[in-house]
Structure 1
Amino acid sequence: MSKTLHHGLLLLRVLSEQPQGLTVSELADAISVHRTVAHRLVRTLEAHELCRRDHQRRIVLGTGLVSLAEPVQQDLRTLARPILDELAESTRATAHLLVRDGAARMRALMVVEPRGALVHVSFRPGQTHSIEQGSGGVAVLAHGPHREGERPEVSEARAKGYAVTTGEVIPAVTGISAAVPARDRTATASIGISVFEYTDLGQLGTTVAAAARSLGRLLD
C-alpha cells in the first residue's frame, strides 16, 4: 500500500468531516504526520483542485471532487430513475433522491414530479439542507448507530424503517424518506416523497422503504 496515497485519502476523509475547514497543523495532527508532510499533501491536492484554502486560509474540500463524483452519481441517477418514476406515480407525490454532501448536509440529486397530479410539491435538484433536518437526512442518520442526544425522530425512524418530518425543509410539506442501504450496511442516500397532505402515513412509509430497498439491491 502506498503510504503517501493513504495519507492523502485520509486527509480528504478528514476534510469531508470538517466542513468549516482545518489548518495544516490540525490536518497533520488528524492524520498523524509531520506538518511538512501535511503541507506537501495539501499542495498536491490543491494542484488537482481536490482541496483549497478559504478566505481564512483554512483547508476545505475542492471543486475537483465534484468532477470525480459525477460519473458515480450519473450511474446512481440512471438506476434510480425508474424507481422514482414508479414511486411518484403510485403515491401521486413528488419523489426525490437525496445524497449526503459532506458530514453535515444532504443534497437533492434527483426530483421526479407525478404526471397529471393537480397539486404537487416542486423543488430543484441541487438544493441542500442540514442532515439534521428533513426526512432524508433523518433517514440516513437513523441507518447508523444510536448517537447521544439524537433527535427522537431519528430513533423513531430507526424503529419504523422510514423517517417523517413536517415543515423542516419546505413549510407545510411533509417528507417521508427511507435510507438506501449499501453493501457495507452504511447509507449515504435516501429515497423519499414530499406531500401536502396524506391519508395513510403507514402505507406511504412502507412504499417508500420498499423503493429504497429496491435501489439498494441494484447498487449491491
Structure 2
Amino acid sequence: MSTLQTLDRGLRALDVVARSSNGITVADLARELDVHRAICYRIVATLEAHALVARTEDGRIRLGVAIPVLASRFEPQLARDVQPLLQELADTTGATAFVSAAQGTDCVVIMVAEPEGALLRVGYRVGSRHPLDTGAAGIAILALRPEQPGDPESVRVARRDGYSLTRGQLEHGAVGIATGVALPDTVAAGLERSVGVVAIDGLDTERAAEAVIRAARALEGLVTA
C-alpha cells in the first residue's frame, strides 16, 4: 500500500503532539519523526494553519482548537451507529443501558436506551452528571487511565476485573455495571467513554458484566473498523 509521505508525517506529528500532555518542542518533535528540523517546522506550520496544533507562549506545540471541533462532528455519527447496539444491551440485560463521557472531573450520560416493556426504570437520563469517582460509569473511565499511586480501590478493582460494579452509590437500591471504551487517544481527543447498565436490584450482575464487555468491544469495533 502506497502512502503520501507528507500527509503521513503530518498525521504522525499529530499523534506525537496528542501524546505530549505538556506540549512538545519542534526539536523534540523532529527527533520523534526522524526528520530535519526545517521539515518539521513546515509540518507544524501547515497543521497550525488549520488550527490542528497551536504554540504556547514558550513555543511548545500542543493540540489546536480544531481537534475538539472534529471530535464534536464525530459524535453524531457515533451516536447513530451505537444506538442499536445500546438498545440490544438494554434488552439483553433488562436494564437501562447507557454511554457516559468524562467532562472535567464529572461523568455525564450522553446516550440511554431502555429495555422493551420495562415497568420500573432508573432515573439515569441523558445529561445526568456525577463525579467521576462515584458510580460505575465514571469508575470505568478512570480504570482506563494509566495507573496512579493514589487510585481508589474501586478503580484498581475495575482495572483488574475489566469492569466496575457499584451498588447504591447514585440511587438507593440501584446496581450499576460499566466498562471503559478504549478508543484511540481517548484522553488527548477528549473521547473518554464508558458503556454500562443500571437497574434497581435483581440484576444478574455476572450476565450483565459479560454483556457490557461485549458491547464495549463492539463499540470499539465501530470506531476502529
How many correspondences in the alignment? 174
Preserved CA contact (<8 Å) 1:136 1:178:
yes
Matched, 1:218 2:222: yes
TM-score by length of 1: 0.68
Report how far residue 109 of structure 1 moved: 0.8
Residues 61-113 of structure 1: per-residue CA shift (max 9 Å, x gap): xxx998765422111211210111000001110000111213x1221111111
CA distance in 1 between partners of 2:52 and 2:211 (Å) = 41
CA shift in 2, pair 1:117/1:4, >3 Å: closer
Preserved CA contact (<8 Å) 2:93 2:207:
no
Preserved CA contact (<8 Å) 1:96 1:112:
yes
Aligned partner of 1:24 in structure 2 is none
Report how far residue 9 of structure 1 moved: 4.6
Q: How does 1:162-177 map to 2 (within 5 A)?
A: 162-177=163-178
Aligned partner of 1:197 in structure 2 is 201
Report how far residue 8 of structure 1 moved: 8.4
For the aligned residue pairs, the C-alpha RMSD in angstroms reads 3.0
- In our comparison, the structure showing a higher alpha carbon Rg is 2
TM-score by length of 2: 0.67
Gaps of 5+ in 1: 12-30, 35-44, 51-63
Aligned partner of 1:94 in structure 2 is 96
Preserved CA contact (<8 Å) 1:77 1:109:
no
CA distance in 2 between partners of 1:108 and 1:199 (Å) = 20
